[in-house]
Amino acid sequence: MLKKIDDAIYAAERILTLGLIACMALAVFLDVAHRKFNEPVGNIERVLTHFLSMEQATIHTWLVPVVLMLLTFGLCYAGFRTAETEPRIPRKKALGYALATALGMVVFVKGLLFLLPNGLIFSQKMALCMLLWVGFIGASMATREGNHIVFEVADRIWPARIRPYVKHVAAGSAVVFCLGLATLAISYTSHHYRDWADSQHIAGVFEGFPAPIWMVYGFLPVPLVIMAFRFARLGVLSTEIDVPKAEEST
Amino acid sequence: MILLALVILLLAMGSPLFVVIGVAGSFAFFVYGGLTTIHDQEIIVVQITEIASKNVFLAVPFFVFSGAIMSAGDIARRLVDFAEALVGWMRGGLAVAAVLACVCFAAISGSSVVTLIAIGGIMFPALTRAGYKEPFTIGLLATAGSLGCLVPPSLPMLIYSISVSGQSAVDVRELFLAGLGPAFLIAGMLSLYAVLRAGPVAQSQRFSFGRLKQTFVRGIWALALPGLILGGIYGRVFTATEASAVSVVYAVVVETLIHRSLSFKQLPAVVLKSVSNLGALMLIVLLSFSINYFMVEQRVADSALAMVRDLGLGAGGFMMAINVFLVVTGMFMDSISAIVLFTPIIAPAATSLGIDPLHLGVVFIVNMEIGYLAPPIATNLFVAATIFKRPFGMVTKAVLPTLGILCVGLVLVTYIPTLSTGPVYALKGEGFYQPFTKLDPTPTPTPAPGIDATPTETPGKTLTIQEMMEAARKRREEEAARAAAGESPVASPTPEASPSATPAKTMTIQEMMEAAKKRREEEAAASPSPTSSP
């Protein structure tokens, strides 16, 4: 029964984590793309202005888009030509694909600038909040997978007879610690919640990312409690007391 | 003493490291910081949630994910082929190629262990088949794999830059650049060792320009990633954090669409595998931050500095003592935890002796690199013993010569700061040569924890959560007052509690909330539209 519950939680954790990571990476990437293509004077323009004695307006209006398009096209072409497909993409097809991809990228960038005129300025803050969740969920998954770092001296220093019980106590200490940390997290979140509620939702939100702080921090106790559950299930409540064979035979 | 006994007991019982660190932090706050209630102990959670204000931290998971995606593909094989084609023709060429491949792969994965697994897994059979002796091969690969610490984007460097602040703060971009010189130096020394010790194995192949070109084209997308990351960072196209997100997208595109060594279906499994490792690592780092904060609040660095002054070591002696301390620490501690725990003690003392924080950062990382190879807690040796299927004792013996080379490298990096900081200052136009002590020695600066926190006026008493909330509240009140007076608001670092102010003392949370409520009601009564903002 406990194992089935754990399996269900684990499956949910995997899905949630993947979604969060995809959101984090995409949000920060789109923010970079938006900022770079929204700059009044970009790096390419700076380089061209430095080396060419042409009017700034001509460079900005004509030359930069052409150079950008050529660069994008070149990269896409190189990508298609070196793509390890079976059979290899022939030159003419690669040219066509590269042109289509480059045009697609132009449309994508224009669409990005049009749909998000102010960009995703909150992206990094949002990603950091998500990182907190991902980190804690990851720690909870690590508990199930036995991935937490442990100095395995216990196997060497304790007599074989009491070793399994020591392991149970160690798992118990982890259960108590996780539950204690979850309690502290709940208590800390409650201050932010009160702050947010009492201020008619004006205070108690992140700067630059309009999410209530309590909502982000309020999630932390969940993976901590799951970790405690897992340490309890796999350590404290485990009936598999691995008494060494020599011991068993005696 | 009780704290030490508690830590040893938990370790001896086999408790997870994060529990040991968390309990130690909580106990330290309880006994030495006077934080005895549950509300007071919330300081641990405050320190954990502080990462929401440290943008650089975002680079850690992104580089972990991109490294995992690239490692799951066949990039390692492509890099090895290219390195072999480039230097395989010379005496000891295959061994030199292994070192070169390790450097290139470290620049992609950012991790010593991943580098050792990926390159070591391919090169160990190749080198032994070519006639290189096993101990030599194992030692070389385990040591070259540890270069992942020094070659950007290095995870220990990211953690180091997060752990230090105040006068000892370093820009992670500069730290990355500063790591390159020592990385090339150590790689060069290892290559030289490979050439000299090649023995009867003279050369594995003839040089062929055609093969070089072919392997270069096959590996170009892998070889371009370090260029993209470093070029983007130093070309001011994006920050280190943004570079990490770009590298994830790049890794996905290259591995799934160009190399086609991963399918979209396989991606989730690859990423999820690294999430679990990331979670285990993150919990340790986050809990270590509370001990970091405790030590800053207790002004442990001041005591350390006073001790250094009493001993009359001077900058050179201090660095030697630090090296000995960190090597010994690295033998018994996980490197990432050691960075978070000891930087707040060591960095301010070093800065006040005139040692460049960037230089110290690189020395710190080289020491941690040695820690990866120094038994008993030597991550790379465990990994090497597992992947090469050799006894731990044999691997430990095998690594001794290259560990010696690493120690020589450490001495050079320690006493020739130009190796690390030269390129950074040259790019800034401040000259390539850097003296050993550069800054004017300053009287005992105390670092700030986290982003901008400074210690309380009375050492021995740690800021409580109430005091932090009060400080944040005061800042908001000041901003509201400024706004009411028609002044432009001053940006505050975060709306969250930050221990940067030193309030007189301490209302309860309830009193604070009441005061804030009253203030808002007064503001609402004075003006129909509220002007306060978080």
Nearest to B476 by CA among B429, B431, B434, B533: B533
* Chain A residue with the nearest C-alpha to that of B60: A131
Residue B501 has pLDDT above 50, yes or no: no
B35-53 pLDDT, tens digit per residue, is: 878 888 888 999 888 887 8
What is the pLDDT at residue B400? 92
Asked if residues B434 and B482 have their Cβ atoms less than 8 Å apart, the reply is no
Residue range B101-126: mean pLDDT, rounded: 85
Q: What is the 3-state secondary structure (H, E, C) of chain A?
A: CHHHHHHHHHHHHHHHHHHHHHHHHHHHHHHHHHHHHCCCCCHHHHHHHHHCCCCHHHHHHHHHHHHHHHHHHHHHHHHHHHCCCCCCCCHHHHHHHHHHHHHHHHHHHHHHHHHCCCCCCCHHHHHHHHHHHHHHHHHHHHHHHCCCCECCCHHHHCCCCCHHHHHHHHHHHHHHHHHHHHHHHHHHHHHHHHHHHHCCCCCCEECCEEEEHHHHHCCCHHHHHHHHHHHHHHHHCCCCCCCCHHHHHC
What CA–CA distance (Å, rounded) separates A227 from A151? 19
% of chain B exceeding 90 in pLDDT: 15
Chain A residues with CB-CB distance to B490 below 8 A: none
Of B357, B363, B343, the closest CA to residue B407 belongs to B363
Residues in B touching A142 (Cβ below 8 Å): 276-277, 279-280
Given CB atoms, is A84 within the 8 Å cutoff of chain B? yes
Query: Using CA atoms, how far apart are residues B116 and B102, in angstroms rounded to an integer?
Result: 8
Percent of chain A having pLDDT more than 70?
A: 94
CA distance B245 to B262: 19
What local confidence, expressed as pLDDT, does residue A14 receive? 94
Chain B contact present for A156, CB below 8 A:
no
Q: Are B399 and B138 in contact (CB under 8 A)?
A: yes
Segment B266-314, tens digit of pLDDT: 999 988 888 888 888 888 888 888 888 888 788 777 787 788 778 877 8
Backbone angles phi, psi at A220, to 5 degrees: -55, -40
Q: For residue B452, is pLDDT > 50?
A: no
3-state secondary structure (DSSP) of residue B35? coil
Token readout for B280 is 């285990």
- CB–CB contact B58 A128 (8 Å): yes
Least CB-CB distance to B284: which of A149, A177, A207?
A149
Question: Which of A24, A166, A195 is the closest to B13 by Cβ?
Answer: A166
Q: Among residues B67, B452, B434, B468, which one has the least CA distance to residue B250?
A: B67
> Hey, which residues does B16 pair with through a beta bridge?
A150
| Cβ pair A205:B495 closer than 8 A | yes
B170 in helix, strand or coil?
Answer: coil
Digit-coded pLDDT (tens) for A211-230: 899 999 999 999 999 999 99
At residue B524 the predicted structure's pLDDT band, cuts being 50, 70 and 90, is low
CA distance B467 to B297: 14
Tell me, yes or no, if A166 comes closer than 8 A to chain B by beta carbon. yes
Predicted local confidence at residue A39, as pLDDT = 84
Tell me if A142 and B277 make a contact (CB, 8 A cut-off). Answer: yes
Q: How confident is the model at residue B460 (pLDDT cuts 50, 70, 90)?
A: very low
What whole-number distance in Å separates Cα of residue B294 and Cα of residue B22? Answer: 12
The b/e string for A146-157 (b: 16+ C-beta within 10 A; e otherwise) is ebbbbbeebeee
DSSP state of B405: H
CB contact under 8 A, B272 and A18: yes
Distances (CA, A) of B162 to B166, B245, B274, B389: 11, 18, 21, 37
Q: State whether residue B122 is helix, strand or coil.
A: helix
pLDDT at B497 over 80: no
At A239, is the pLDDT very low, low, confident or very high (cuts 50, 70, 90)?
low
**So what's the pLDDT on residue A133?**
93
Token look-up 């994508």 returns A108
Task: Write out pLDDT tens, residues B424-445.
Answer: 888 888 877 777 776 554 444 4
Is the per-residue pLDDT at A38 higher than 90? no
- Residue B502: left (phi > 0), alpha (psi -120 to 50), or beta? beta
Contacts of A170 in chain B (CB under 8 A): 10, 13-16
* Through-space distance between the first and last CA atoms of chain A, rounded to whole angstroms: 34
What does pTM read for this prediction? Answer: 0.78
